[in-house]
Amino acid sequence: MPDTHSLTGRVLATRSPVHIPDVLADPEYRWASQPVAGYHAMVGVPIFVETDLIGVLAVTRPVPEPFTDDETRLVTAFANQPAIAIANAAIVHTSPCCSVTGQILISQRVVAAVEEAVDAEPVGELKGFGRPVAADAVRAPGSS
């Protein structure tokens, strides 16, 4: 059973989004680095590839202000993007008909889709969200 004293542990245990409006007011939450990191509110969502839970996307706020349902849905939408990219990468790498050029093209399309989602109007309206850097991590070498 995952440790439920952390946001990640709770997401792993429930396999669903978890919201902690203020970690300092949550009697079960324990993470020694929280005072250094300086966050209060957290939301975490699972990242699934098919039915496999492969990770957790966590977003924090420096103030004890709850995340709205719309913000949680937005974080969930962002969590779906790497899952889609990973699933597509698995298809590409197991397919004998895909060339390196085809793999780079697919990677560029995934990056474009993530960047388009990040640049969507609602993101600018949300307090406490920064531009994700995950899109840079999936760029093909030499691409711009």
Q: What is the pLDDT of residues 72-102, one digit of tens each?
A: 999 998 888 877 777 766 655 555 555 555 5
Tens of pLDDT, residue by residue over 6-53, are 999 999 999 999 999 999 999 999 887 777 788 899 999 998 888 888
Domain 7-137 = CATH 3.30.450: yes
**Token pair for 80:** 């779906």
Strand partners, 43: 19, 59
Instruction: State if pTM tops 0.85.
Output: no
Cα 26 to Cα 35: distance, rounded to the nearest angstrom: 14
Which tokens in the block code for residue 71? 């913000």
Separation of alpha carbons 30 and 94, rounded Å: 41
Beta bridge partners of residue 19, listed in sequence order: 43
Q: Which amino acid is at 63?
A: V
